[in-house]
Amino acid sequence: MVDKHLMVCEVRWPGREEASLTVELASDGTIRRADLYGIGGPAFLRALCDLRARLTGSWREVPLPTGNHPGALLLRELLLKARGEWRFPYEDEELCHCRAVPTAVVDQAICRGAHTPQKVSSMTSASTACGTCRPDVEAIIKYRLQQP
C-alpha cells in the first residue's frame, strides 16, 4: 500500500489570470505528481510554465516564484495556499470603510503594480479620507512583495 496525500488549490483574479494546482505527495513529502493549469496573458503563462518545471522533488523545497509581476504574485499565493502557509495580513472584506473599498480591490491593485500606499490610493481611493486603513494597505504591500 502506498501512502499518499493529495492537495488541490485554486487562485483567480476575476477577468484576468487564474491557476489551479493538484499535488500528490508520497509519505516522505516527495512530489509524486503535480498538475498545474492556468489561464491568462503571455507573461503569466511563462511564469506558470517556469513553476511547472520546478514542481519536482521535495514539496516543501519547491522555491516560491520571485519577482513582483502579477504572475509571480499570483503563483506565489497559489503555492503558499497549497502548503497551508498563506497568512494574508487583513481578513475583513472591506479595507477602507470611508470610501467603501473592498480588500480584494486593494489587493488586486497591488498585484497590478501599485507598490506604494500612494499608488494604491490613486488606483482605488483607499486611504484618501481618514487614513486609518493606511497601515493595513502598507501591510498588504509588504506581504505581497515579501518585504520585512
pTM of the model: 0.90
**Which helix (H) or strand (E) element contains residue 64?**
none
Output the pLDDT for position 15: 82
Letter for the amino acid at 130? C
pLDDT digit string (tens) for 54-69? 999 999 999 999 999 9
Q: What is the CATH number of the domain that holds 101?
A: 1.10.10.1100
Question: Which one, of 65, 29, 33, lies nearest residue 50 by Cα?
Answer: 65
Is there a single domain that holds both residue 19 and residue 69? yes
pLDDT digit string (tens) for 20-65? 999 999 999 999 999 999 999 999 999 999 999 999 999 999 999 9
Is there a single domain that holds both residue 118 and residue 49? no
Residue 32 contacts by C-beta under 8 Å, 6 or more apart in sequence?
Answer: 4, 24, 25, 26
Task: Report d(CA 79, CA 128) in Å as an integer.
Answer: 33
Question: Which of 41, 62, 83 corresponds to the end of one domain?
Answer: 83
Is there a single domain that holds both residue 119 and residue 65? no
User: In the structure grid, which three cell numbers stand for residue 51, read together?
Assistant: 513553476
